[in-house]
Structures are given as C-alpha cells and as structure tokens.
Amino acid sequence: QSVLTQPPSVSGAPGQRVTISCTGSSSNIGTGFAVHWYQQFLGMAPKLLIYGDSNRPSGVPDRFSGSKSGTSASLAITGLQAEDEADYYCQSYDSRLYAWVFGGGTRLTVL
C-alpha cells in the first residue's frame, strides 16, 4: 500500500488530454511538501518529468504539466502521443514517516 495513491492505469487516444491524480495526506502533500513526477519506460530508469509541483526540467515538452491543491496533485498530458506510453509516478516527502514517498504508479496506454 503506497502512501500516495494513484490510479493503476489511464488511457487515451492520440491527440487527447489525460490526467493522472496523486492523493496524499496532511503529513505529505497537505503539509506543503512539493510533488514531483517521474516517467519510466519499460525496462528503463525513471526520469524526472515535473518538479516542485509544476516545473518542467529542460527538455520536457510543455505538453506535460503539473498542479497541486490541498492534499492532491495532478499530472496532465495534452496532445497525447504514442511515445508517451509509459509508467508515471508521483513523489513527495512525508514528515510523519521521515521518508521520501512514491505513488504506486500509473500505466498510461495510448490507444
């Protein structure tokens, strides 16, 4: 059971917009700790996609965006492309556990 909750899977057709939710609690996201998102292709290492709730590292397309409100955060992907098919993880810090925490991951399928 992950500290942060994500849907196991989402899907969308090319060109569509999808969102992935990440729900935490008052000891992590709700306390104000930033949420970060990672993209992981099958058999590869994770890659930082969004940091500090809504910032994109250099090289990440602006089709990817992040937001946060209360104890939840979301990753939105617009103009869906086949190459976006991957697993996506949210991550934050938990002040009660004194631990870096991840969501269980969401598999994105491009139909």
Site residues (CB under 8 A) for other proteins?
2, 33-34, 36, 38, 40, 44-48, 51-52, 55, 57, 89, 91-93, 97-105
Q: Give the single-character DSSP code of 44.
A: S
Give whichever of 74 and 91 is closer to other proteins, judged by the CB atom: 91
Q: How far is the CB of 100 from other proteins (least distance, A)?
A: 4
Strand pairing of 99-102 and 86-94?
antiparallel
Q: Work out the number of other CB atoms within 10 angstroms of the CB of residue 65.
A: 18
Query: Which of 93, 80, 96 lies closest to 32, judged by CA?
Result: 93
Query: Which of 90, 79, 5 lies closest to 46, judged by CA?
Result: 90
Q: How far is the CB of 63 from other proteins (least distance, A)?
A: 20
Q: How far is the CB of 108 from other proteins (least distance, A)?
A: 14
